[in-house]
Structure 1
């Protein structure tokens, strides 16, 4: 995982512990004041949210205790793609440019341009250099991508 990814998870954990827990506890208290809990959907919803929040806190605690942060790629060589690098690509068929940052699975968000090193495209890019072309099978067919820049 990158340091940025770790920082984001730590921020989420702080928010859940400091803010979200209090908000949910207040919702439970207010819903409980409405009377009979057996038919109180607001109370049930708040209790379900509390269970979700507590589960996410436990998940983040475990993840952050066991995570390995990779070295910043900018400090070393950027001649080949590794986790943490941003890769500029050209689709050789459509000539469309693409930019992806290679991250660990927990940080992946394809809509934000962050793909896992375990994804088909991410795995194919690892170890590649500027000028290399990769062919990757994806649900829509086969992509042929050329590495144009690594940062």
Structure 2
């Protein structure tokens, strides 16, 4: 498996989720299974089946997180010296030249992308169009609604 780029914040979120699954969710579902077993006949016990399904989901997610974390290449944007160029982990302020709207995005790994938090995936069209560019550059990025022009106002490594 190839290494997966993650920011420090993204790695922290995944480690917190893994810890919660192991210390809270897993023990709770084991207890729920024990309680359902105590009710007797398992063949028609909906609580038992639901708890077993939940256990399978939790164990699957734990394995997935452990695999992701072990293959992660954690990158700390504050230590980057990219000489003002846009790289993985950089935070970028852009102006949409058509609407005048100014937006700010951080370029992150696929697993941590969340547009609601302005975290865009390194593999997204916007990020791919920005990588390697610098403050003051104007870039044309193809989005679903067509080509858009953006001016790069600021590149931060925070």
When the two structures are superposed, what TM-score results if normalisation uses the length of structure 1?
0.92
Alignment of 1:149 onto 2:154: yes
Alignment of 1:60 onto 2:65: yes
Q: Specify every segment of 5 or more residues in structure 2 that has no aligned partner in the other structure, as ranges.
A: 1-5
1:43 alignment partner in structure 2: 48
Q: Tell me by how many angstroms 1:111 deviates.
A: 1.3
Which aligned segments of 4 or more residues in structure 1 are displaced greater than 4 angstroms?
Answer: none
The residue matched to 2:147 in structure 1 has which SS? strand
Q: Tell me by how many angstroms 1:123 deviates.
A: 0.9
The residue matched to 1:69 in structure 2 has which SS? strand
Q: Is the alpha carbon distance of 1:91 and 1:37 closer, same or farther for their aligned partners in structure 2, counting shifts above 3 Å?
A: same
Q: Tell me by how many angstroms 1:135 deviates.
A: 1.7
1:16 alignment partner in structure 2: 21
The residue matched to 2:73 in structure 1 has which SS? coil
Q: Specify every segment of 5 or more residues in structure 1 that has no aligned partner in the other structure, as ranges.
A: none
Q: Distance in 2 between matches of 1:82 and 1:42?
A: 49
Alignment of 1:89 onto 2:99: no
Contact 1:73/1:82, CA 8 A, preserved across alignment: no
The residue matched to 1:143 in structure 2 has which SS? strand
Q: Tell me by how many angstroms 1:138 deviates.
A: 1.9
Q: Distance in 2 between matches of 1:38 and 1:149?
A: 62
When the two structures are superposed, what TM-score results if normalisation uses the length of structure 2?
0.88
Alignment of 1:140 onto 2:108: no
2:111 alignment partner in structure 1: 106
Q: Distance in 1 between matches of 2:115 and 2:66?
A: 25
Q: Deviations over 1:32-84 (max 9, x none)?
A: 23332222222211111110110011111111111111243454245111111
- Aligned positions, number: 151
